[in-house]
Amino acid sequence: MRILHTSDWHLGHILYNYDRTEEQADMIRQVIDIIAEHRPDVFVLSGDVYHTSQPSAAVQTMFAEALMKMHLAHPEMKIVITAGNHDSGTKHEIFRTPWQALGVHMIGNLDREDMDSHIIEVPGCGYVIAVPYAYERNIPEGFFQQLLDHVAERNVDQLPVVMSAHTTVSGCDYRGHEQATDMCVGGIDSLDVAELGQGYDYLALGHIHHEQFVHTGHHNVRYSGTPIAVSFDEDYPHSVSLVTIDSHGATPVVQQIEIKNLHPLVSLPPQDAVPWTEAKKQLAEFPSDNAAYIRLNVEVDDFLPPTANADAAALTADKECRFCYINTKRKREQKVDARNMTVNEFQTIAPLEIAQRYAAAKGIGFDDDMEELFGTTVRMVQEEERVQEDQ
Ligand SMILES: [Mn+2]
């Protein structure tokens, strides 16, 4: 069985007020070409189709057309699309029935009653178990293993079994999520890989934007990563994964196929930070015909000059590039307190750390129990927001 594995398309993403439709459409074109060339048996998108649970009509149309073109590029291919934490699980399933007629399977919500709704059989080829966004509190105990056992019963011919999930697995590499305000990333809600059960040949993961095999001792648990960067911290090559599994129990063979971004996300300088005058110089020298998005990494002592953003915009006015923002970094020895923090710095701090700082400033004890209670509360609030957005 051959699977084209991708995740985290984040269609409709707006990067510092810039619309990314053009490059996302170009990414989709590249994926369609890959499908036409390699003719996989299954296409798997492991969650985060859209960037928000309320994508515009234009963005939804772009995705619907993408599905249709993918289908037409290789009509025998099964297409399995699950919802991620950025998607509305309920809206994801609205057109589930008509899509199914074309071999496109849209799985948005967990269905505890109907296990079969998560299982896609690829006749004579294998099985795909599709699980949308999952974290500790919304996954019924043993759910993954029940699905795998269910497939094992049906799989008399010992065909390959692939499972798709959108979750954080403990011990994975969070590179690319340095500025994540997403509480779901960063280990708080991570699942131990053992909780995802046994019996799959390949676990196709989404949620973490850096492509990687998760260290489990086997080469079969993998994040495909984003096909094009969502954040400036994703400063590595991007790809989709073509996975070949010969038979049930065989080790998958993975080929990464690079995806080019029409408008790459570039940090100046790439690592570290430089004083403002040096950053301005680098921006002035940036090639005029390079249509990249630009972030400046600037080292600050105290405050940036008040005209800094306007200066940067003026320096790029006649260039193809799109200036996004100034990422301020403090000199290491400086202790930053909330009073002289930039908004950008504040946004990078996790809610838990803000609570801890507040508690410390007020002389309130913040022990492990408090930490757990706080974590639970944040998750409840987030879950409530998700439910509200879904309605
Ligand atoms: Mn994502």
Centre of ligand 1 from the C-alpha of residue 82, in Å: 12
Q: Locate the domains of the chain by residue range.
A: 2-258, 265-332, 350-391
Integer angstrom CA distances of residue 162 from 151, 251, 311: 10, 12, 51
Answer whether residue 184 shows pLDDT above 80. Answer: no
Residues around the ion ligand 1 (C-beta < 5 A): 8, 48
Residue 239 confidence (pLDDT):
98
- Amino acid letter for position 117: S
Separation of CA 340 and ligand 1 centre (Å): 31
Tell me: pLDDT of 182 over 70. no
Please compute the mean of the pLDDT values over residues 270-299 and round it to a whole number. Answer: 96
Average of per-residue pLDDT values in the chain: 90
pLDDT tens track for 56-85 = 999 999 999 999 999 999 999 999 999 999
Q: What is the pLDDT of residues 3-52, one digit of tens each?
A: 999 999 999 999 999 999 999 999 999 999 999 999 999 999 999 999 99
Instruction: Supply the pLDDT for residue 176.
Output: 85
How high is the pLDDT of residue 180?
A: 54
Task: Give the distance (Å) from ligand 1 centre to CA of residue 15.
Answer: 14
Å from CA of 230 to ligand 1 middle:
8
Q: Which CATH superfamily is domain 2-258 in?
A: Metallo-dependent phosphatases (3.60.21.10)
pLDDT at 183: 46
- Report CA(130)–ligand 1 centroid distance (Å): 17
**More confident call, 29 vs 365:** 29
Provide the pairing of β-strand 126-130 with 161-166: parallel
Q: What is the pLDDT of residue 389?
A: 59
Proportion of the chain above pLDDT 70, given as a percent: 91
- Rounded Cα distance between 6 and 35, Å, is 12
Q: Which amino acid would we find at residue 342?
A: T
226 CA distance to ligand 1 centroid (A)? 8
| 68 CA → ligand 1 middle, Å | 23
Say how many Å lie between the CA of residue 49 and the centre of ligand 1.
8
Class of residue 329 by CB neighbours under 10 A (exposed 0-12, middle 13-18, buried 19+): middle
Q: Which of 298-302, 345-349, 362-366, 377-381 has the highest mean pLDDT?
A: 298-302
**Distance of CA 115 from the midpoint of ligand 1 (Å):** 25
Token digits of residue 149: 């056992």
Q: How many whole angstroms from 6 Cα to the centroid of ligand 1? A: 11
Helix (H) or strand (E) holding 253: strand 253-258
DSSP 3-state assignment of 230?
coil
Instruction: Note the pLDDT of residue 67.
Output: 98
Ligand 1 center to 51 CA (angstroms):
8
Interior angle at CA 281, CA 280 and CA 283, nearest 5: 65
Cβ contact 10:48 at 8 Å: yes
Whole-model pTM? 0.87
What pLDDT, in 10s, does the model give residues 205-259? 999 999 999 987 778 999 999 999 999 999 999 999 999 999 999 999 999 999 9
Ligand 1 centre distance from Cα of residue 209 (Å): 6
- At 155-171, the pLDDT tens digits run 999 999 999 999 999 88
The pair of structure tokens assigned to 135 is 């974290």
Using alpha carbons, list the distances in angstroms from residue 3 to 55, 114, 120, 141, 152. Answer: 27, 25, 13, 28, 19
> How far is 307 from 327, CA to CA, in rounded Å?
15
Beta strands 221-223 and 239-244: pairing type?
Answer: unpaired
